[in-house]
Copies of this chain bind each other. A is one copy, B any other.
Amino acid sequence: MARTHGSAQRLGAADVETRASVEHHDALRLWLRLLATTNLIEARVRALLQREFATTLPRFDLMAQLERAPEGLKMGELSRRMMVTGGNVTGITDLLEREGLVVRLGDREDRRALRVRLTPAGRRTFRAMAEAHERWIIQAFATLGAADIRRLGELLGRVKKHVRTSQGSEP
């Protein structure tokens, strides 16, 4: 904001500043919109998971990781894949275990480790949830055509890559 004052009167260096400031404003607005859109969809998915399956997004995410690993995953592996801390995985696994959807099994190779696996009931439940989840997501983006989806994905990909590479090291 600010710095809108003398810009209409004189061109040159000040004008570059004006343009930069407007773009800056746009960046902030874009961020708020990105955040709002993501949060809106996420809230919808959470509410539907709750209503249709009496479950939550983190539990769904954990089960999704397990479904692709029939032999189970160690807690640490789950933690890495879900990008959350180990303590968090312990808590969610406790709840899923209590619900009979996963089991903890000792790892033969490493007696410190546990492997978490979907139970048959967990696998059945997850498949139903995954199918519904995909429908909800398709619905959320149904307003975009194939070209728009590609374009949006491409733009987001550029931002993601930029943030990953440029900011990890900066002040």
Name A's B-contacting residues (CB within 8 A): 1, 3, 23-24, 26-31, 33-38, 40-42, 44, 134, 136-144, 146, 148-153, 155-164, 166-167, 170
Contact = CB atoms under 8 A, between A and B. Distances in A.
A81 B29 CA distance: 16
Given A23-B146, A155-B152, A160 B33 contact: yes
A163 B28 CA distance: 22
A153 B30 contact: yes
Contact of A159 (B3, B28, B141, B163): B141
Contacts of A40: 160, 163-164
Contacts of A159: 37, 41, 140-141, 143-144, 152
B148 A167 contact: no
A29 B162 contact: no
What are the nearest 5 A-B pairs in CB distance?
Answer: A143-B162, A38-B38, A27-B141, A37-B160, A152-B155
B31 A160 contact: no
A142 to B, nearest CB: 7
A149 B30 contact: yes
Contact of A139 (B44, B134, B155, B166): B166
B26 A150 contact: yes
A63 to B, nearest CB: 16
